[in-house]
Amino acid sequence: MPHPKAQKTNAMRLLDRAKASYRVNYYDCDAFIDAIHVADLLHQPYNRTFKTLVTTGKSGAHFVFVVPIAQELDLRKAAKAVNEKYVELLHVKDIRAVTGYVRGGCTPIGMKKQFPTVLHESALQFDEIIISGGCLGAQIFLAPGDLVKVTNAAVADITE
């Protein structure tokens, strides 16, 4: 029986269109829970579970960074990776307006616009990584190469 909240998100539809292989895990969640607590709840390894962070550069452009949940984005390295003088994290209140996703459900795939995306290099050591599914209570498991392909992501060392 499908999970009561099972639904296709923009991210899942784009993965289907790209014929990318992925699987979805649904879990009970009615409000924002940070990724560390979700990983603990579901007994998932921190190093294979990635969070999506959206930033604004000095130019005013938005950039997406996908990093392991237990690590912090290094803003200097991030800026360098996207050829900006600096980047700063997007304010929580602006996440939905910019991405189309809610906090805790933000995924690099299927945002309102495809922003330049950078995946942390550690993802490439795994056959499969875990990212948000595009809504609260959903995760997508996919090969990092498929994430790179679907988002046209660069790969770099972007953490502290």
User: What's the rounded Cα separation, in Å, for the pair 66 and 99?
Assistant: 14
Classify residue 10 as exposed, middle or buried by CB count within 10 Å of its CB (0-12, 13-18, 19+). middle
The number of beta carbons lying within 10 Å of the beta carbon of residue 1 is: 4
Q: What is the pLDDT of residues 82-112, one digit of tens each?
A: 999 999 999 999 999 999 999 999 999 999 9
Q: What is the pLDDT of residues 136-150, one digit of tens each?
A: 999 999 999 999 999
The pLDDT value recorded for residue 1 is: 39
Instruction: Match domain 22-156 to its CATH number in 3.30.930.10, 3.90.950.10, 3.90.960.10, 3.20.20.410.
Output: 3.90.960.10
CA distances from 5 to 8, 53, 97, 107, 133 (A): 10, 24, 23, 17, 12
Segments in the chain below pLDDT 50: 1-2, 4
The pLDDT value recorded for residue 5 is: 57
The pLDDT value recorded for residue 151 is: 97
Q: Is 17 helix (H, G, I), strand (E, B) or coil?
A: helix
User: What's the rounded Cα separation, in Å, for the pair 93 and 50?
Assistant: 21
The pLDDT value recorded for residue 6 is: 64
- Cβ–Cβ < 8 Å for 7, 24: no
CB-side exposure of 32: number of CA atoms within 13 Å?
A: 8
